[in-house]
Amino acid sequence: MLLSLSIRDVVLIDRLEAEFRPGLCALTGETGAGKSILLEALGLAAGERADRGLVRSGTDEARVTAIFELSDDHPARRELDEAGITIEPGEPVILRRRLTADGRSQAWVNDQPASVGLLKSLGEALVEVHGQHDGRGLMDPGTHRGLLDSFARNHAELKAVREAWKSLADARSRVASLEEAQRTANTEEEWLRSALDDLDELSPVAGEEPALAEERKFLQHAENALTELQAASEALQSDGGLSERLGSALRTLERVADQIGQAEEGAAGEARTALTRATGALDRALIEFSEAEDALSDAAGSFEVEPGRLNQVEERLFALRAAARKHEVTIDELAALRGDLADRLDAIENAEGRLDEARKALTAAEAAYDKAASSLTRSREKAGDALAKAIMAELPPLKLDKARVRVAIDSSEDHAGPNGRDRVTFEIATNPGAPFGALDRIASGGELSRFALAIKVCLSVDEDGLVLIFDEVDQGVGGAVADAVGKRLSALAKTGQTLVVTHSPQVAARADHHWKIEKIDDGKGGVRTTLVALSGDERREEVARMLSGENVTDAARAQADQLIGTA
């Protein structure tokens, strides 16, 4: 519901504040008073195209703010959620637009900067205008299918079609993916087999590179180390050998010890003690020397490597590193790569079976979609006939008795999608024998508004909180026809807020709320437009003016009382 509209410096309106209420709201006033300006200002707030000609002469910018009340399940909430704008339950949505004299435009939603595109999306969910300012709603054939589905209560059928469409889309994607894989399989299979043969021959093992690098370093120094060890061994054995000399010295000391006997005192005792220490040291030296020779021999043995081993290690490292570069992986990842390539080859070898299964699933999905879409089409055709009859019944009282209406349903695979395969269009023929055509081809704006009114009356079961605005719906009619228009507007307003710009006293008399748009002198040699809420005598006087013209008579006032009293 539109709660309020604030306008600053739009054409003839310098400053206007209007608060609106539920039900049927009538906007009246003399021709040229600015009723159309009010709708253009609302359109600006609702994201319509900005024309810098709307900026009041002599000012720098125009500003419009429209505040709407939203139900918890209002479609506009989805638009807000997708835009990341949070509106708490019970909180209104505030659309604000600024237009400068040089044509620049800015938009806000609840004081958050927003694109004009978002403003337009919200406006389409909040307001629907019928008449000379209509560019959306019923005049947009893209909305007709949804309106027919709402009338038909096709919720279950639509859900089934959307689920079937998703399954069909998934099945098509699966088949396309497998077919594409099959087209490239021959080339890839040849490459995979070659790569696997190379890796099988290489037989990479995770963690072998560090061990090979360490062995390579050892082998590179082994020959020089062996030469040095051999030189050390020869040094130990040169000139008779250190072992023989130590042994000879030990034997000499042992003979001397035997010669001096076992004396333990005096000079002989001291000599024997010294000899004992000397022979012990030489004996230990011989043992250490022998152990050194053995260790040296063992060390030399460890450096005696297999001929050509260094070349083998270097070739292995080169092969591993070349393979890693070729496949753009590390050496440690080569073993895992081999497994991945084997899996890919297996997938190719078994692709035909999977493709057959996918094609069978696609056939089943197509059948399921066809069944669901056909059921939805039948429901739409049945509802379309019922809706056309209901609309036709509304036309005679609206002075459209010669017109015909039909709901055209074009069912084709070309239209297939999540909402079925039907293109729905509301079509009319204004005269007998005239061909059917789109709603927006009607010449008369008044006829257009009355057609929209008739359709809306029939569709009023599900309006999703739209504010309906009818502009000049009573154009060119009066008396009983105008009264019929008023009755239908009043009935329509019981399910939601309806605003009507009218010149008809019969329509104005049926309004729940009445505002008069006036053009007055601004005291500066210019004029400005104001909006005045009417009630009681003021409303009576305005309805009487609409009946009799500028000179209001008592008879007109009495007739106004009668219209208001019987509305």
For residue 238, give the DSSP letter: S
Is residue 18 within 8 Å of residue 64, measured between CB atoms? no
CB-side neighbour CA atoms (13 Å) of 423: 8
Considering Cα of 146, then 150, then 153, then 156, what sign does the dihedral take?
Answer: positive
For residue 514, give the DSSP letter: E
In angstroms, the first-to-last Cα distance of the chain is 23
Question: Where do the H-state alpha helices sit in 395-494?
Answer: 445-459, 479-493
pLDDT in tens, 197-211: 988 888 888 888 888
Q: Which residues pair with 368 in a beta bridge?
A: none
Residues 6 or more apart whose CB falls under 8 angstroms from that of 382 comprise 152
**Can you tell me the distance from the alpha carbon of 403 to that of 433, in angstroms, rounded to the nearest whole number?**
10
Residues 6 or more apart whose CB falls under 8 angstroms from that of 506 comprise 474, 478, 479, 482, 483, 485, 486, 563
pLDDT, tens digit only, all 567 positions of the chain: 999 999 999 988 888 898 999 999 999 988 766 778 888 899 899 998 888 889 988 899 999 999 999 988 888 888 899 888 888 888 899 999 999 999 899 999 999 999 989 999 998 889 888 765 454 567 778 889 988 998 898 999 999 999 999 999 999 999 998 888 777 777 777 888 888 898 888 888 888 888 888 878 877 766 666 666 666 666 666 655 666 777 777 787 777 777 776 656 667 677 777 778 877 887 788 787 777 776 766 665 665 656 677 788 888 888 889 988 998 889 888 888 888 888 888 877 777 788 899 999 999 999 999 999 999 999 999 999 999 999 999 888 888 888 899 999 999 999 999 999 999 999 988 888 888 888 767 646 667 778 888 888 887 655 567 888 888 777 767 788 888 888 888 888 888 899 998 888 999 999 999 999 988 877 776 677 888 899 889 999 999 998 888 888 899 999 999 998 865
Q: Which residues pair with 24 in a beta bridge?
A: 498
pLDDT in tens, 217-234: 877 766 666 666 666 666
Is residue 417 within 8 Å of residue 165, measured between CB atoms? yes
CB-side neighbour CA atoms (13 Å) of 412: 7
Q: Which residues pair with 500 in a beta bridge?
A: 26, 470
**Can you tell me the distance from the alpha carbon of 413 to that of 416, in angstroms, rounded to the nearest whole number?**
5
Token output for 27? 């906007």
Residues 6 or more apart whose CB falls under 8 angstroms from that of 539 comprise 514, 564
Question: Where do the H-state alpha helices sit in 238-332?
Answer: 242-260, 266-302, 309-327
Is residue 131 within 8 Å of residue 489, measured between CB atoms? no
Helix axes 334-349 and 351-394, enclosed angle (nearest 10): 60
**Can you tell me the distance from the alpha carbon of 158 to that of 152, in angstroms, rounded to the nearest whole number?**
11
Is residue 492 within 8 Å of residue 453, measured between CB atoms? yes
- 3-state class (DSSP) for residue 235: helix
**Can you tell me the distance from the alpha carbon of 189 to that of 186, in angstroms, rounded to the nearest whole number?**
5
Residues 6 or more apart whose CB falls under 8 angstroms from that of 142 comprise none
Alpha-carbon separation of residue 512 from 26, 174, 494, 562 (angstroms):
8, 59, 10, 16
Q: How far is CA 440 from the centre of its chain?
A: 34
Q: How far is CA 558 from the centre of its chain?
A: 62
**Can you tell me the distance from the alpha carbon of 50 to that of 41, in angstroms, rounded to the nearest whole number?**
10
- 3-state class (DSSP) for residue 494: coil
Alpha-carbon separation of residue 195 from 89, 274, 320 (angstroms):
63, 80, 13
